[in-house]
Amino acid sequence: MATVHTGELRLHVQRMGPRDGRTPVATVVLVHGLLTDSLASYYFTVAPAFAATGLDVVMYDLRGHGRSERPPSGYTLDHNIDDLEAMLERLGVHGPVHLVGNSYGGTIAFGFAARHPGRTASLTLIESEPATAQWAAKLRGILDRVVRELAHNETDAIAWITANRGHNTARLARGAARLARETTLGRDIPSSRVLTEHQIRAVRCPVLGVYGGDSDLVGTKPMKEALLPDFRSVVVPGHEHSVLVEAAGTVGGHILSLIHSAAGTAPAGAVPAAAVAR
C-alpha cells in the first residue's frame, strides 16, 4: 500500500507492473466509481491481467473512498480531476497514459482527457459518460435518493439491503451512507462544471465505450459516436451496470486490445479473444 499526498489530501494508491521486472510498455490508470466502489473493483478483476501483459497499472481510491482521506467538502468533478493530475505528478508519470474509468470514474477520466488531450493515449468508459447537463441532472436524482434513503433512514435501508443483497453489499452501503451523511459529496457532484460540446469534441484519442446489454447507458452511444472522432463500443449481453465485475474477462480483453493497439505493442501475456467492435 502507498499513500500519495496531492498537496491537499492523502490518496491511497496501488501500482502493479510486469512480474519479471521488464520495462512496462505503457501506463494505464484505473479510476473507480462512486460511493460503494474503490480500487478493489480493479485489483481483484482486471489489474493483474493488465500488468501481466507488460503494463504499468496505477489505481487509487478517490477522495472520501476506500483508504483515501475523507475531507468534509470538495467533491466536485473538478476536485477529482485535480486529484488525478496531482497523483500522476507525484508518481512521476508525465507521458501520455491510458485511462480506464468505471461509472463516475469514467466521467473523471473523460474530464482529464478533455483538459489534457496530449496526455491521454486512450480512454475507456465502462458504463460511463462525459459530464453534460443531462448527466448532472441524473446524478442529482441518484444522490438525492442516496441521501434520503441511506443517510437519513440508514437503519431501515441497511436492513433491506442485508436481506436482499447480502452482508457484503450492506457493509459497502454503510460506508456510502457515512460518506453521503458526513460530506458535501451529494451536493457537490451535481453542481459540477459540465463540458461543452467543443470540449467533448477535443478528445481525439481512441475511446472505447463498454456497456452492459441491459443498461440504460447504451442509449448514450449515439452522442459519443457523433462527437468523438475515434469512438468504438462493446455491448456485453445479459449484464447491467456491474459489467466490470461480472464479466471481467470479456471487459478486460476489450480494454487490452485497445491499449496495445494504441500503444503499437503486442501484449506479453494472453489476451481474451474478444475483438474490439466498432
* Domain-located, residue 278: no
* Domain-located, residue 269: no
Do 257 and 172 belong to one domain?
A: no
The pLDDT confidence band at residue 1, using thresholds 50, 70 and 90, is low
Do 136 and 221 belong to one domain?
A: no
Burial class (CB in 10 A: 0-12, 13-18, 19+), 174: middle
* Domain-located, residue 251: yes
Q: Are 125 and 210 in contact (CB under 8 A)?
A: yes
pLDDT (tens digit per residue) in 187-224: 999 999 999 999 999 999 999 999 999 999 999 999 99
* Domain-located, residue 274: no
pLDDT (tens digit per residue) in 109-150: 999 999 999 999 999 999 999 999 999 999 999 998 887 776
Do 73 and 19 belong to one domain?
A: yes
pLDDT at 275: 35
Among 50-54, 143-147, 152-156, 259-263, whose mean pLDDT is lowest? Answer: 152-156
Do 17 and 59 belong to one domain?
A: yes
Q: Quick check: helix, strand or coil at residue 31? A: strand
Going by C-alpha positions, the residue among 205, 190, 212 that lies closest to residue 262 is: 205
Q: How many domains does the chain have?
A: 2
Do 155 and 28 belong to one domain?
A: no
Tell me the mean pLDDT in the region 93-100. Answer: 96
Do 151 and 23 belong to one domain?
A: no
Tell me the mean pLDDT in the region 167-174. Answer: 72
Do 142 and 46 belong to one domain?
A: no
* Domain-located, residue 273: no
For residue 168, the enclosing domain spans 132-191
Amino acid letter for position 60: Y
Do 156 and 32 belong to one domain?
A: no
Question: What is the average pLDDT value for the chain, to the nearest integer?
Answer: 90
* Domain-located, residue 224: yes
Q: Quick check: helix, strand or coil at residue 270? A: coil
pLDDT (tens digit per residue) in 40-52: 999 999 999 999 9
Domain boundary among 191, 214, 236: 191
Domain boundary among 159, 174, 191: 191
Do 103 and 158 belong to one domain?
A: no
Domain boundary among 191, 214, 237: 191
Task: List the CATH number of the domain containing 243.
Answer: 3.40.50.1820
Do 180 and 213 belong to one domain?
A: no
pLDDT (tens digit per residue) in 233-243: 999 999 999 99
Strand order from edge to edge, sheet including 10-16: 2-5, 10-16, 55-60, 26-31, 97-102, 120-126, 207-212, 231-236
The whole-angstrom separation of Cα 34 and Cα 241 is 12
Do 116 and 222 belong to one domain?
A: yes
Do 125 and 223 belong to one domain?
A: yes
* Domain-located, residue 277: no
Instruction: Using only the alpha carbons of the chain, give its radius of gyration.
Output: 18
